Structure formats: structure tokens, C-alpha cells
Amino acid sequence: MEILVCVKRVPDTAENEIVVNGKGTDIERGDLVYSVNEWDNYAVEEAIQIRDRVGGSVTVVTVGDGDSEEILRREMAMGADKGILLSDDAFNGSDGRGIASILKSEIEKGKYDLILTGAQADDGAAQVGGMLAAMLDMPYASLVNKIETGSGNTIGIGREIEGGNQEMSEIDLPCVLSIQTGINEPRYVGIRGIRKVASVEIPVHGAGDLGIAAGSVGAAGAKVKRVDYFVPPAGEGAEILEGSSDEIAEKLIELLKSKGGIK
């Protein structure tokens, strides 16, 4: 099975406090720790496991700047066979649809049986996979937490739905699936693994290589634009307990007692 996995480099929210810059034009990016989007890591792990089961290859692709190469290498260290970086100044400011159409142009240059994305990325949009599928006229399923490969031209999938219930379906190949966390346990990647792939060449494709008309993607082609970043004025909000940790603990115990939180 030829599998393509779309991955994105994002600020790691578990490692960073996200702060809006003075003008509200962006978040402060200076000291951010970046990593591969959590959901994408599960998608790559799933792709590797499928390949190891049924054969074929795994390609990881990202739309980003030069810095995004590092996450391609990380996913190759996990076991992906190839990496492709889609990068061009003309891509800057793309909305979800722009990203999907850039990915589509790359996908049409190859022949893939299965295309995986993460369920969502840092902007919580959960849109690129579904858009990509519609553009490619392939069937789609979101929030997939089980994949059963068979021998024919269909695969069995489970989607996670409300309450943790699982919706089982059969889907024709080729298809696009967005992967939900928990589908597997992504393997650990050590420094040695990353070193091993440090010198593998990663092709970079721009708008020209992909035959993408200027103005159809990027800020110019975007129907949906982010105007600013802001932090909403705190409403009621929590009462923050102040003092030494000893004092805080005492206040908290009193509060918990009064609310029936200590039996």
C-alpha cells in the first residue's frame, strides 16, 4: 500500500505558554518549542504499522517553511520512507482550503492508495483532510481510531464518535482518513534515529513545480483570513488563591470543606 501522511509543524502547547504579541498580529514565536502536531504523529505511526503489515511505502509531506524540514526528518526517523517539503513564499497566508489544494497538487503527481492526516492541528480547525478528500473526489472519514486492512479494494475503519462510541464502516480505496489520537502508541524516536536520516535528501516543491497558479493559494487566494490574535477580557474567571503554598493549601481545604469536597 502506498501511503501518504500530511504532517504539520506546530508550537507544542504542552511546552509553551502561548502569548499574543504587543500588536496582536501574531503570537510571540521567539522562544516557542515546536514539534510535530500530536495527531499527525499517530497518523504516521499508523501508516508505518500498515506498511509493515502489508508492504508498500510511507511518504510524509508538509506545507511549510525551511524549518518544517526537521519534522519530516523526525517522522522519517520513526520509519517513514520519504519526505517531501512543499514550500514557496506564494503559500504564505493560505487558509485551510489553500493548504488542501497545495497538498492535492502534490498528491496528483504520485499514486497513493491511502492518505492520512491528523484530526486537527494547532488552530483546531479539523478541516484540511475533509477538504483534500473532496478536492481529490476520494471518500473521507474523520476521527478514525481503527484501520483494518484486508485484501480487496476496501478497508474497514472505526470512527470515534460522541461518548467514545465507535462507528464502524467500510470505505473504498483510495481514500483520505483523518486520524484521532489513541489509535496506537506512537514509537519513541531517539537522537540516534534522527541522526541516521540527517543526510537523506528531502525534495522541496514550490508553486511552479506543482503547477499552482499564483494568487490561487496564499493570502491572495484565501477566503478566510485571520485578522488578529487576542485574549478575550477575562470575565468572571477563577479566584486565584494567593500566598505561600502552605497558606493556599489551607484556604483550599476550607473551601473544599464548605462545598462538600472533603468527606
Partner 1 sequence: MTQPIFAYITHKNGVADDSALELIVAAKKIDPSAPVTAIVCGDGAELDAVCTAMAAVYPEVWKVSSPALAYPNAEVVRGVLVNLLPAGAVTLAPHDTFGMDLSPGLSVKLNAAFVPDVVGIEGVDGVTLKAVRQEFGGQVSTHIHCDMASGVVLNIRSGVFQADDSKASGAVVDKSGQAGDCKAKRRFIEVVAAEVGDVDITKSDVLVSVGRGIEEQENISIAQELADAIGAVVSCSRPIVDAKWLEKARQVGTSGKTVKPKVYIALGISGSFQHMGGLKGNPFIVAINKNSKAPIFQVADIGVVLDLLEFVPELTEKIKEMK
Ligand X SMILES: Nc1ncnc2c1ncn2[C@@H]1O[C@H](COP(=O)(O)O)[C@@H](O)[C@H]1O
Ligand Y SMILES: Cc1cc2nc3c(=O)[nH]c(=O)nc-3n(C[C@H](O)[C@H](O)[C@H](O)COP(=O)(O)OP(=O)(O)OC[C@H]3O[C@@H](n4cnc5c(N)ncnc54)[C@H](O)[C@@H]3O)c2cc1C
Residues 3-42 that bind ligand Y (CB under 6 A): 13-14
**Is 39 near ligand X (CB under 6 A)?**
yes
Please choose which of partner 1, ligand Y, ligand X, none residue 63 contacts, taking the beta carbon within 5 to 8 angstroms, the exact cut-off set by kind.
Answer: ligand X
Question: 18 or 54: whose CB is closer to partner 1?
Answer: 18
Among 48, 76, 116, 119, binds partner 1 (CB under 8 A): 119
Question: 222 or 251: whose CB is closer to ligand X?
Answer: 222
Calpha distance 115→208 (Å, rounded)? 23
CA-wise closest residue to 20 among 227, 183, 207, 209:
227
Residue that is written with C-alpha cell 516543491 in the block: 205
Minimum distance of ligand Y from residue 27's CB (angstroms):
16
Among 17, 152, 198, 201, binds partner 1 (CB under 8 A): 17
Residue that is written with C-alpha cell 462538600 in the block: 260
Among 86, 116, 143, 157, binds ligand Y (CB under 6 A): 143
Q: Three-state SS for 105?
A: helix
Q: Which residues contact 247 (CB under 8 A, 6 or more apart)?
A: 241
Are 37 and 159 in contact by the 8 Å Cβ rule? The answer is no
Handedness of CA 128, 117, 146, 3 (dihedral sign): positive
Within 79-108, the residues that bind partner 1 by CB under 8 A are 96-97, 100
Minimum distance of ligand X from residue 100's CB (angstroms):
8
C-alpha distances in angstroms, 225 versus 28, 112, 122, 127, 222? 19, 31, 16, 15, 6
Among 130, 194, 202, 216, binds partner 1 (CB under 8 A): 130
Among 67, 110, 172, 200, binds partner 1 (CB under 8 A): 172
User: What string of DSSP letters covers 170-206?
Assistant: EEESSEEEEEPTTSS-PPP--HHHHHHTTTS---EE-
> Closest CB to ligand Y belongs to which residue?
14
Among 1, 3, 4, 8, binds ligand X (CB under 6 A): 8
**Is 217 near ligand Y (CB under 6 A)?**
no
**Is 218 near ligand X (CB under 6 A)?**
no
Specify the length of the chain in residues.
263
**Is 62 near ligand X (CB under 6 A)?**
yes
**Is 6 near ligand X (CB under 6 A)?**
yes
Site residues, ligand Y (CB under 6 A): 13-14, 119-120, 143
